[in-house]
Amino acid sequence: MSDTLYLQLDQNIQVSHPHVYLQDVAKLSCTDSKILNRLRVMPVINLPPDKPGRYVMSVMDLIREIQKKEPDLDITTLGEVNFIITFKNKPGPGILWEWIKILFVGLATFFGAGFSIMTFNNDVDVGALFSSIYTQVTGQPSGHFTILEITYSIGIGLGVIFFFNHFGHMKITADPTPMQVQMRQYEDDVNTTIIEDIDRLQKK
C-alpha cells in the first residue's frame, strides 16, 4: 500500500525570500514522516530577488515536481487549484507613515459620512419635519433644538456603532464587522482577477 500526501493550499501566500519551498506555500500531511520531511524542503520556485510582486502557480506544477521525487506517492489536494505567491523583499513603511495613512482615512471617512448625512437630511428636509411634528404634538413652535433633534443625533451615532460592530478596540459581538467582510470580498476579487488574467495570457 502506497503512502498518501495531503496538500492544502491557500489562494494567496506571502513570502519574504526568493527561494520558495513547498512548506512555504502548502500545508502538508503524510503517513510517512520521512517522505514528509523530504517534501517540506522541496524547491518550488526561485523568484527574481529584485522583482517583488505577485506570481501565479498551479497545483499541477507542484504535483509534477512531487511525482519526480516520489513517483509512488498518492497525492490528494485540498483547497485552491491556482494560487498566488506574493513576494515582498522589503520592509513595510515606517510606523509614522502608517499613522499618517490611518489619520487621513479616518478624517476622510468622518467628514465624508458627516457630509452624506447632512445632505440626506437637507434633501428630505428633516428639520422642517421635526418642527412640524413638535408643533403638532406640543402645540408650541419648535426652537429647532428639541428632544427630537437630540434623540435623532444620538440615534445616528449609536446606529453607526452597532452597524460597524465595534467602537475603538471593543467589539459588540464576535461576528466580523461589515468592513472586514467587504475587505475580504475585495481581496478575493483581486486574487481571482489576477489568476484569471494570468490564465488567459498563458492560453494566448
Identify the CA nearest to 66 among candidates 98, 31, 36. 36
Per-residue pLDDT band for 20 (boundaries 50, 70, 90) equals: very high
The answer, yes or no, to whether residue 21 has pLDDT greater than 90, is yes
Q: How far apart are CA 83 and CA 66, in angstroms?
A: 17
Whether the CB-CB separation of 165 and 177 falls below 8 Å is answered with yes
Q: In Å, what is the CA distance from 63 to each residue of 77, 134, 200?
A: 9, 73, 22
Per-residue pLDDT band for 168 (boundaries 50, 70, 90) equals: low
Question: How much is the pLDDT for 10?
Answer: 87
Per-residue pLDDT band for 203 (boundaries 50, 70, 90) equals: low
The answer, yes or no, to whether residue 91 has pLDDT greater than 90, is no
Q: Where are the alpha helices (DSSP H) in 84-146?
A: 95-124, 126-138
Q: Is the pLDDT higher at 199 or at 131?
A: 131
The answer, yes or no, to whether residue 1 has pLDDT greater than 60, is no
The pTM score is 0.63
Q: Is the pLDDT higher at 204 or at 181?
A: 181
Question: How much is the pLDDT for 52?
Answer: 87
Strand (E) or helix (H) holding 83 = strand 82-87
Question: How much is the pLDDT for 42?
Answer: 92
Identify the CA nearest to 18 among candidates 61, 52, 58. 52
pLDDT tens figures, 33-73:
898 999 999 999 999 888 888 888 889 889 999 998 888 88
